[in-house]
Amino acid sequence: MNTVLDTVVIGGGAMGSAAAWALSRRGRQVTLVEQFGPGHAIGASHGATRNLNPGYHRPDYVAMLAEGLALWEELEQESGEQLLARTGIVNHGPGGDLKKVAAALTDAGISAEFLDPAEAGERWRGIRFDQQVLHMPDGGQLNPEAALPAFQRLASARGVEIRHHTRVADFQVFDDGVRLTLESAAGTEVVTAAQAVVTTGGWTDKLLARITGTNDAAIRIPKLRVTQEQPAHFAMADDGAVWPGFNHYPGPDYRGWYSPVYGMQTPGEGIKAGWHGLGPVVDPDHRDFLPEPTQLAALQEYAREWLPGVDPDSFEAISCTYTTTPDEDFILDRIGPVVIGAGFSGHGFKFTPVIGRILADLATGTRPAPSIFRASR
């Protein structure tokens, strides 16, 4: 059987779910296919907390932050779910361009204030500060475990067909559309569509490598590096401490290449902390999910030195993936009938509804993405 569709979104993680939601709001016919089941922990979109860190100064990202704050609130209202806990975010350390960030956010109407280390330490005694601290009260923690089902539930209510446990076995690209062979427990089905939106995270290169057809030579994107990131939830040692989200930029001389560090409180699980983008390179289909011992030991030492509110010897290791571009800017582009959203480089989740909107724009030909995200950059 050959089924004719308008748009197929491949990959049902955060970005694919947001793209389906955004397209459904425009009345488009969408089928979302995901190779794994709902709520799986194999990729990058699971877990109960992600920092919404407003610490950007580049104009494209600051504009996306402002739009994202409004869209997260809109999604909360539409879904009836609390998705963002506004605990605030504190960024500190000699790196991070904090003065540029403060100026850019203030110009955009996003709150930012500098505190001295003593004042910050009094407010957030679970963290040690040794330099000026940038406090951004509009930031906080997002909940992927609630957000993904919300995107999908709302999209489904507007007619989006969602197929879990469905694998793309063959991907052909032509001048006027795509042809996909889909495999599931129900059997094999061939579908054609006007366009496909690829949001497959760590599997992006594998999927694009299987493309055949008249446009196969055109599907080129910046090199992606898939890593297994290994943060940990540390037990709280100070039950009275108040925890914002935090990002520490201790500088390049701190323990060699171990920098920067991010963290937040995950209710019921402890204080999450981790190195940013320093995990070992992995094949997403062949991971051991085990922490790398040297990095884990260094993270414990970091907690011992900089997080007095936790017990560095009591923790649960976590495993997720980053899919990172060479410049850590995203890939948001359309190449023929294929729209690509990839390379979110460990800092994309906060922008999820905006990225959904951008991917919907690309799929419908409404407007291009900012030039910094082009595949040909």
Q: Same domain for 306 and 230?
A: yes
Question: With contact defined as beta carbons under 8 Å apart, do 263 and 273 qualify?
Answer: yes
In a domain? residue 284: yes
Residue ranges making up the domain that contains 348: 2-46+146-223+325-373
Q: Same domain for 343 and 265?
A: no
pLDDT at 253 over 80: no
Q: What is the pTM of this model?
A: 0.96
Q: Same domain for 36 and 170?
A: yes
Rounded distance between C-alpha atoms, residue 43 and residue 331, angstroms: 18
Provide the pLDDT confidence category of residue 216 given band limits of 50, 70 and 90. low
The C-alpha angle with vertex 50 and arms to 48 and 55, in degrees rounded to 5, equals: 165
Q: What is the pLDDT of residues 128-161, one digit of tens each?
A: 999 999 999 999 999 999 999 999 999 999 999 9
The CA distances from residue 63 to 111, 220, 339, in Å, are: 14, 27, 22
pLDDT at 256 over 80: no
Find the range with the poorest average confidence among 152-156, 212-216, 238-242: 212-216
Q: Same domain for 218 and 308?
A: no
What local confidence, expressed as pLDDT, does residue 259 receive? 77
In a domain? residue 209: yes
Rounded to 10 degrees, the C-alpha dihedral 198/351/282/336 comes to 20
pLDDT > 70: percent of the chain: 98
- For the four alpha carbons of 94, 86, 105 and 330, in that order, the dihedral sign comes to positive
Rounded distance between C-alpha atoms, residue 237 and residue 270, angstroms: 10
Q: Same domain for 346 and 319?
A: no
Provide the pLDDT confidence category of residue 3 given band limits of 50, 70 and 90. confident
What local confidence, expressed as pLDDT, does residue 4 receive? 81
Find the range with the poorest average confidence among 3-17, 131-145, 208-222, 226-240: 208-222
**Average pLDDT of the chain to the nearest whole number:** 95
What local confidence, expressed as pLDDT, does residue 257 receive? 62
What tokens does 333 get?
Answer: 């582009």
What local confidence, expressed as pLDDT, does residue 215 receive? 58
DSSP 257-305: T---EEEEEETTTEEEEEESS-SPB-BTTB---PPPHHHHHHHHHHHHH
Q: What is the pLDDT of residues 71-103, one digit of tens each?
A: 999 999 999 999 999 999 999 999 889 999 999
Q: Same domain for 216 and 229?
A: no
β-strand pairing of 177-184 with 167-174? antiparallel
In a domain? residue 63: no
Q: Same domain for 195 and 344?
A: yes
Q: Same domain for 240 and 130?
A: yes
Provide the pLDDT confidence category of residue 255 given band limits of 50, 70 and 90. confident
Q: Same domain for 158 and 218?
A: yes
Q: Same domain for 334 and 216?
A: yes
Find the range with the poorest average confidence among 22-26, 137-141, 178-182, 287-291: 287-291
Give the CATH number for residue 301: 3.30.9.10
Taking each helix axis from N to C end, the angle separating 59-79 and 98-107, rounded to the nearest 10 degrees, works out to 60
The CA distances from residue 344 to 113, 186, 226, in Å, are: 28, 33, 11
Rounded distance between C-alpha atoms, residue 33 and residue 252, angstroms: 42
Q: What is the mean pLDDT of residues 208-217?
A: 79
Provide the number of structural domains found in the chain: 2
What local confidence, expressed as pLDDT, does residue 123 receive? 98
Q: Same domain for 96 and 130?
A: yes
pLDDT at 219 over 90: no
pLDDT at 258 over 70: no
In a domain? residue 81: no
pLDDT at 1 over 60: no
In a domain? residue 263: yes
Rounded distance between C-alpha atoms, residue 115 and residue 342, angstroms: 36
Rounded distance between C-alpha atoms, residue 223 and residue 125, angstroms: 41
What local confidence, expressed as pLDDT, does residue 217 receive? 54
Provide the pLDDT confidence category of residue 360 given band limits of 50, 70 and 90. very high
In a domain? residue 7: yes
Question: With contact defined as beta carbons under 8 Å apart, do 196 and 235 qualify?
Answer: no
In a domain? residue 315: yes
pLDDT at 304 over 70: yes
pLDDT > 90: percent of the chain: 92
pLDDT at 164 over 90: yes
Rounded distance between C-alpha atoms, residue 232 and residue 296, angstroms: 8
What local confidence, expressed as pLDDT, does residue 209 receive? 93
What local confidence, expressed as pLDDT, does residue 95 receive? 87
Q: Same domain for 237 and 206?
A: no
Give the CATH number for residue 340: 3.50.50.60
In a domain? residue 200: yes
